[in-house]
Structure 1
Amino acid sequence: MSRFAFIIWLYCILLFQIRICYPQDNSECGCICESGVKVGVVEDNGVEDRSSEVSKDTQNSEPETQPLNNGKTSEKENPSTTEQGPVNRALNCMEAIAGTSRSGVYKIQIPQLKLRSVDVYCDDDTDGGGWLVFQRRVSFEEDFFRDWESYKNGFGDVSTNFWFGLDKLHVLTSTCDHELYIKLKKRRGDQYYAKYTMFRIGSEAEGYALKVLGAYSGTAGSSLRYHLGMKFSTIDRDNDLNRSHNCAYYFRGGWWFNDCLISNLNGLFLEILDCGVYWKSLQDAPLGFSEMMIRPKETCWRKLMKKSLI
């Protein structure tokens, strides 16, 4: 009986979400997939740096050797508060995972934010390993239709659905050069990837803009290129170029919206092409999985190694 009640409840929730996205009166539509959206073919000509277009701002124990069972990403992490406990010396997943070579949840420190113990999911199975996952969608349980502070600090469970946090992402990618790897899977099972040789996010004063995006390779298509140079937008912070709408409101998630999108991996987790977890190059079927990861480039890794020896 309880199982039957749960199925009915789940059906009602999904029906409610679909009605939000497709109301009968389009004037109140919460996810108007065609309104104000400009989609075009974007050429991928290698590394592009939009840093000059964004206003500038002023800017002892052993490392963890075993992956943790689980980890939460706090929605209200205070960068000015130093966590108690021993200092973890790992600064990224390449260091944290070195003793085990296994994917899982580890701890790193981010000294610039005075964070001494941050749970991160490290992927050591993809393209040589050492990747830090900063976004993952596997199911609809976690709500990605959130405000600026949530996207700034991070939310969710790093073992399942989560967003790592723009503040932390900015610090990591601005400290030294990182590359980006995106995994995508359609609901019918087909898997794809997009890899970029460079990836950098601006500071909060710069709107966490997507400042640098390197050369593309992969099987998914380069649907992130259109968003290069764009500031991040959320339901309460409209930084997109669309004059009529807040793209984050209409597409139900925070993203580097342009006018408006050809990709949005933080949209509704529903079987809806344009309004869901969306990547234009793969628009023939809804996406049922996404994962975004960063890894220090070789030059960055050497720089970090030298610092650790000092």
Structure 2
Amino acid sequence: MGTLCYTILISLLYLKLISCKESPARNCFELLEQGMDSDGINIIFPYSNHPDTSVMVFCDQTTEHDGRTGGWTVIQRRTDGNTDFYRGWEEYEIGFGTVDDEFWVGNIVIHEITEQTVNEILIELEDWDGEIRHAHYKDFHVADNTVVESKHHNYQLDISLYTGDAGDSLSYHDGEDFSTFDSDNDDATGNCAETRHGGWWYGNCAHSNLNGRYYSEGDAAADSDGVQWETFHGASYSHKKTSMKIRPYQG
């Protein structure tokens, strides 16, 4: 009898430990809720159909916006041009670069995170004089890469509700598919990804192009193929630093 009671007690304690264990975080906001409140590289599990598959991301847990601090999953960063962003479809799909430096986290991951719930995005731009401005959108979503009702969704961008001091250069791209030099899904007669030297949600062609060619001192070519945010210094200006970060929106 004593052995049976001891076994039951051990089993109950084991079940209690299992039930108290934190669920794997799907994004950096869930990591913040679990006590991870420092900036840095972390592991998340964003895939709904493959919940045991992990992804390495950079979490920003210190940036404040609208009265909330942290919880941001960084999906893009440019700092000094050490990483070539003129990549093909597959690399933009799975991601490239180094997550604590220059990188694109990957369209699959962006879709998975923004599919979980309504997400907001905060875009930070720094020019060559050190001026920093922001563009914030309360609703940011990237569709998957499937055919729905005879329409092929190539990581289509859905974005709305802009605020900020950088100007709105992304709403022009709302509803556009993602394009790269080897997968032309834009509305132009030519290939915007080739002329703008990047991968983006090009329309015909771009008011923003944060994955464009990196230039020094803000001097971009006549084709406006630099790290562009048209409402902050115009189409031909190429910015020094950029970052794009997302988190669940709580309005």
Q: TM-score range by the shorter chain?
A: 0.7 to 0.9
Distance 1:116 1:208 in 2: 21
1:62 to 1:183, Cα distance in 2 relative to 1, 3 A? farther
Distance 2:54 2:116 in 1: 18
- Counterpart of 2:6 in structure 1 is none
Q: Following superposition of structure 1 onto structure 2, how do residues 107-126 of structure 1 map, counting pairs within 5 Å? A: 107-114=43-50, 115-126=52-63
Tell me which stretches of 4 or more aligned residues in structure 1 moved more than 6 Å.
none
* Higher-strand-fraction structure: 2
Contact 1:97 1:122 in 2 (8 A): no
* Higher-helix-fraction structure: 1
Distance 1:62 1:111 in 2: 20
Residue 38 (structure 2) aligned to one of 84, 102, 110: 102
- Counterpart of 2:8 in structure 1 is none
Residue 287 (structure 1) aligned to one of 228, 239, 244: 239
AA aligned to 1:118 is: V
Distance 1:179 1:230 in 2: 18
AA aligned to 2:162 is: Y
Contact 2:47 2:112 in 1 (8 A): no
Contact 1:193 1:218 in 2 (8 A): yes
- Counterpart of 1:67 in structure 2 is none
Q: Following superposition of structure 1 onto structure 2, how do residues 1-310 of structure 1 map, counting pairs within 5 Å? A: 89-98=24-33, 99-114=35-50, 115-126=52-63, 127=65, 128-205=69-146, 206-210=153-157, 212-243=158-189, 245-271=190-216, 272-273=219-220, 274-283=224-233, 285-298=237-250
1:111 to 1:231, Cα distance in 2 relative to 1, 3 A? closer
| Secondary structure, aligned partner of 1:96 | helix
1:297 to 1:213, Cα distance in 2 relative to 1, 3 A? same
AA aligned to 2:165 is: T
Aligned sequence identity (%) = 37
- TM (norm. structure 1) is 0.66
Distance 2:202 2:47 in 1: 30
Distance 1:201 1:100 in 2: 26
| Secondary structure, aligned partner of 1:269 | coil
Distance 2:207 2:165 in 1: 16
Structure ranking higher on relative contact order (CA contacts 8 Å, 6+ apart): 1
Root-mean-square deviation (CA, aligned residues, Å) is 1.7
Contact 2:41 2:56 in 1 (8 A): yes
Quote how far apart the aligned CAs of 1:95 are: 1.8
Distance 2:49 2:83 in 1: 26
Distance 1:250 1:291 in 2: 23
AA aligned to 1:197 is: K
1:269 to 1:148, Cα distance in 2 relative to 1, 3 A? same
Show CA shifts across 1:144-176 (max 9, x none): 101100001001100000001101111111221
Quote how far apart the aligned CAs of 1:62 are: 5.5
Distance 2:162 2:46 in 1: 28
Contact 1:233 1:239 in 2 (8 A): yes
Distance 2:21 2:101 in 1: 27
Structure ID, larger Rg? 2
- TM (norm. structure 2) is 0.81
Quote how far apart the aligned CAs of 1:298 are: 2.5
